[in-house]
A and B are shown apart, each in its own frame.
Chain A
């Protein structure tokens, strides 16, 4: 089949490989950053449940933020029943 390349990519009018958004590091968008008080965290995983970006992973039954992708929306902090997440100003990195 005819293969064309555009700067090294095959161009054929479709398919895209799924689940490949990892190169897009949306963590760079943050203005505010969630900081977890692990002592107060009860492991209810409400934060995980409500994160629109799948930026909170479950590691050993606890929530862990993947800061490569967290956009700092603050939903986790707003919904946390223990109020153990603080949104702090993101420093430029």
Chain B
């Protein structure tokens, strides 16, 4: 048999309520493969509060607490304190929230948890909009994208402004480990989560999570699109270990058009707008490369 490149054990069961082709389903699946099922999961209001199913069922095999939407950072802080005081410092606590619950309404609580050095892993699964409530824009929605609250229309009101850079925000909190992962690269995903597990303090994972109904793409293309995001340099894969930037995948440098044309949320973009996006992506990629290259072992 082919040797399995990721752990075999599952932390989730079939029979969940995720959409066909759900990227967030893959995020959770790889997360639990990497960390094992002995973790404590804290999940706010988001797709993943519904995906396990309604009371009394759950597709998760892992001890879980659901919290209010903005409270993941708070919830993991309380969990860590409780387990510490009960003498169980080795329990892995995982906060698992969407881009809304992390970069928008949840940002304050996450910032507080990170600033206090809370010993937990925080995973933001980024499907680039408030998907659970019906595809409304978030600060993580890419510039120019269609959402229900940036529907274009006669006034061309698509999402304005670039995607909020959560990796930079979290690195600015002096956390020991931050990494971007994509469901297109499960081996890299698992490796990084296992690296995160070995650290102490607040570890942040930015997980790229395509969404067929929200991004208007064919459900069969979820993994393909997740790979293209990396290959076009739109979503670079890198780690920041104690402030040191490490690129983990070079990516083929494919034109952004390969990524954009597969998604209905970008179908209105003109050639000019695609060119502008290409330029921005190239600049950001160059900056990331330069940052990483300065970080020699001598410096650190």
Contacts and interface: CB of A to CB of B under 8 A. Distances in A.
A19 B15 CA distance: 10
A24 B17 contact: yes
Interface string A6-31: 00010000001111111111100100
Given A18-B58, A45-B2, A73 B20 contact: yes
Contact of B21 (A18, A24, A54, A73): A73
Contacts, number: 117
A61 B21 CA distance: 24
Interface string B20-39: 11110110010000000000
Contacts of A43: 1-2
Contacts of A38: none
A92 to B, nearest CB: 18
Contacts of B61: 18-19
B6 interface: yes
Nearest to B33: A49
A52 B29 contact: yes
A49 to B, nearest CB: 6
A20 B56 contact: yes
A43 B3 CA distance: 10
Contact of A74 (B18, B23, B219): B219
A75 B52 contact: no
A37 interface: no
Contact of B58 (A20, A42, A49, A87): A20
B57 A20 contact: yes
A5 to B, nearest CB: 13
A20 B57 CA distance: 5
A22 B212 CA distance: 24
Instruction: Give the interface size bracket for B toward A.
Output: 35 or more
A19 B21 contact: no
Contacts of A55: 14
A45 B55 contact: no
Given A16-B58, A45-B4, A21 B224 contact: no
A8 to B, nearest CB: 11
A52 B25 contact: yes
A66 B10 CA distance: 15
Contacts of B117: none
Interface string B212-238: 100000111111100000000000000
A27 to B, nearest CB: 9
B176 interface: no
Interface in A64-87: 66, 68-69, 71-75, 77-79, 87
A35 interface: no
A71 B15 CA distance: 10
Contact of B220 (A19, A58, A69, A75): A75
Given A52-B22, A75-B219, 19 more contacts: A9-B56, A16-B57, A17-B58, A18-B58, A20-B58, A21-B53, A22-B15, A23-B15, A42-B2, A45-B4, A50-B186, A53-B16, A61-B2, A66-B14, A73-B222, A74-B21, A75-B21, A75-B220, A77-B220
Closest 5 pairs between A and B when the two form their complex, measured CB to CB: A74-B220, A61-B1, A21-B15, A69-B14, A52-B25
24 contacts: A20-B13, A20-B56, A20-B57, A21-B16, A22-B14, A22-B15, A26-B15, A44-B2, A45-B1, A45-B4, A50-B186, A50-B223, A52-B18, A52-B22, A52-B29, A53-B16, A54-B10, A61-B1, A68-B14, A69-B15, A73-B220, A74-B220, A75-B221, A79-B224
